[in-house]
Amino acid sequence: MIIDLRLNGIKHSIIESDKAIQINQILKQTDIDPKSILSYKLNHSLYVNDEYLLSHDNLVDCISWQHPEGLRIYQDSAIFIMSKALYTLLGNQHSLVVEHSVGDGVFCEVFNAQQFTEEDCARLSAEMRTIVEANMPIDRIEVKMDEAMDVFSQMGRKDVLKNLQYRYQKSVPIYRCGKYYDQFIRPLADKTGMIREFEIVYQAPGFILRFPSGKDFKVSRPFVLPKKIFALHQEHDKWLDILNVHTINDVNKLNDNYDISEFILVEEALHEKKIAEIAADIVKNREIRLILIAGPSSSGKTTFAKRLGVQLQASKAKPIVIGMDDYFIDREHTARKPNGDFDFESIYAMDLDYLNLQLSSLLKGEEIDLPVYDFTRGVRRNSNRMVRMRDDNVIVMEGIHGLNDLLTESIPANRKAKIYISALNQLNIDNHNRIPTTDCRLIRRIVRDHQYRGYSAQETIMRWVDVREGEEKNIFPYQENADYMFNSSLTYELGVLRKHAWKLLLKVPSTSSSYTEAQRLIRLLSHTNDIPDALVPYNSIIREFTNGSIFRY
């Protein structure tokens, strides 16, 4: 028997055994510290604990917190422990909702109980520490559907029951820790003792569960609340309250009852209203002549910029659109990453001096020849497109560095309006299973990459880690610099994207390192019902990722 042992997806060693052997016994033959491993994955698909008995050839991947998958396992396990602790303190008379990410944690609220206070946060944190120190096993068990319904009915989990009643299967996997039960669509750690780093921070009207990060995997202190992003989340939460939609099941019911068309129109109207408000406010300030739009991958920046341009014209301003990518330095002068690839995402891949020179000339009323970048040859050349600003013109630039003041340091702050756009999803599967914003953006990108670039889902998933690293370095640190923020998420979008993404994800081979991620996204999408593309307005941000947009890209 041959065991292909890997650590976070990277080949570690080959172990041979002439008899069945447990994973924990295999690890004793290596330098892998079992205390750092959150879960073990067999052949890219099955998650097991360290007592699992191997009886034939297997690929065993040891997943630690240093891998994105391990980080998700850690965070979900911390949420599970928090939920168990709160259930111990309050019983089944409360309702805990894990709402959205904020900073290095997730914002949560407790309903059907007295107002949650700082003292309650301290009690919750202490109970979590007790559970962690007890190092209790977290068991994944398969139970019959009617048994699962009974369990969650006794626990007062109406949110889970609503979701389960639409699941047409004989059995369902749930997690058990002592006498506490919960359902998570992603894998959890094997024992509570693995989740030692966390912090509960009071933030009215709820609290934030913070997770460790960085090379030392510690919770950084002190906590700094990203106020603008948090306010944007809270604003969107009010939208969902108005629409009376908080879970995928709520959207599915609208779809089943043929009410989804009106819901889509209302959501799109809210988008258009927000864009119109931003445009009107910018035009009202006559000093602003440069609009900078930035956001992470697949946030819908291009469509937003085009819709903003329409609203600017409706407010009697004429936009001059300048492509940020046309100011790249020649490829031969571009710095490289440690792995040898060109670092196109660095702000220093831009010709900052030339960009600032041209912007300054435009704002002085001078005529300039806009450049165009030849991506095939990797050089910049003149486009012979001459432009000059008039009194009613405003410059619009969209790109990842728009919020970094270094990009346009020669332009006074009062002459610029910086807009941050991201798809900040707040739709949950149930109260404890949130759908991360990152997942929504990845699904968008999978669909768009195939539609417009011919990439497979496997290729997009493999590139996603590098994309995320670039965002963490070049975008997220500057998001609070924005003057305006726009949430491009649409509550109904997963139903539209499902049919496009599903068939692409199914093509990821089981031998691929992307297979686990593809299957995870399929499980997520399995909770939503298809929504026809025909119901999506032609100027919708979602059309940027599917097809049929009224805009040219």
- Reported as a pLDDT band with limits 50, 70 and 90, residue 432 is very high
Is the confidence at residue 246, as pLDDT, over 90? no
pLDDT for 16 equals 86
Has domain 2-64 been given CATH number 3.40.50.2300? no
Is the confidence at residue 64, as pLDDT, over 70? yes
| CATH number corresponding to 69-225 | 3.30.980.10
Question: Nearest to residue 101, comparing CAs of 196, 192, 236?
Answer: 236
pLDDT for 302 equals 93
- Reported as a pLDDT band with limits 50, 70 and 90, residue 384 is confident
pLDDT for 310 equals 97
Mean per-residue pLDDT, 392-396: 96
pLDDT for 102 equals 92
H or E element, residue 4: strand 2-7
pLDDT for 168 equals 66
**What is the C-alpha to C-alpha distance for residues 129 and 135, in angstroms, rounded to an integer?**
10
| pLDDT higher at 47 or 395 | 395
- Reported as a pLDDT band with limits 50, 70 and 90, residue 422 is very high
- Reported as a pLDDT band with limits 50, 70 and 90, residue 192 is very high
Length of the chain: 553
Is the confidence at residue 94, as pLDDT, over 70? yes
User: 174, 180 in Cβ contact below 8 A?
Assistant: no
CB count, 10 Å around CB of 174? 20
Cα dihedral sign, 347-349-350-354? positive
Query: What percentage of the chain exceeds 90 in pLDDT?
Result: 71
User: 201, 213 in Cβ contact below 8 A?
Assistant: no
Spatial neighbors of 336 by CB under 8 A, at least 6 apart, are 342, 343
pLDDT for 427 equals 87
pLDDT for 167 equals 66
**What is the C-alpha to C-alpha distance for residues 432 and 506, in angstroms, rounded to an integer?**
27
Residue with tokens 């007592």, as numbered in its chain:
51
Mean per-residue pLDDT, 454-460: 96
Average pLDDT of the chain to the nearest whole number: 92
Q: How much is the pTM?
A: 0.91
Each domain of the chain, given as residue ranges in start order, spans 2-64, 69-225, 230-322+331-356+391-544
Is the confidence at residue 166, as pLDDT, over 90? no
**What is the C-alpha to C-alpha distance for residues 233 and 231, in angstroms, rounded to an integer?**
5
Mean per-residue pLDDT, 100-109: 94
pLDDT for 476 equals 94
Is the confidence at residue 51, as pLDDT, over 90? no
**What is the C-alpha to C-alpha distance for residues 230 and 107, in angstroms, rounded to an integer?**
9
Spatial neighbors of 522 by CB under 8 A, at least 6 apart, are 502, 505, 506
Is the confidence at residue 280, as pLDDT, over 70? yes
Pairing relation of β-strands 58-64 and 37-42?
antiparallel
C-alpha angle with apex 12: 27 to 50, nearest 5 degrees?
A: 30
**What is the C-alpha to C-alpha distance for residues 125 and 271, in angstroms, rounded to an integer?**
38
Q: Give burial (CB, 10 Å; 0-12/13-18/19+) of 50.
A: middle
Query: What percentage of the chain exceeds 70 in pLDDT?
Result: 99
Mean per-residue pLDDT, 155-162: 90
Q: What confidence tens digit (pLDDT) does each residue in 296-318 have?
A: 999 999 999 999 999 999 999 99
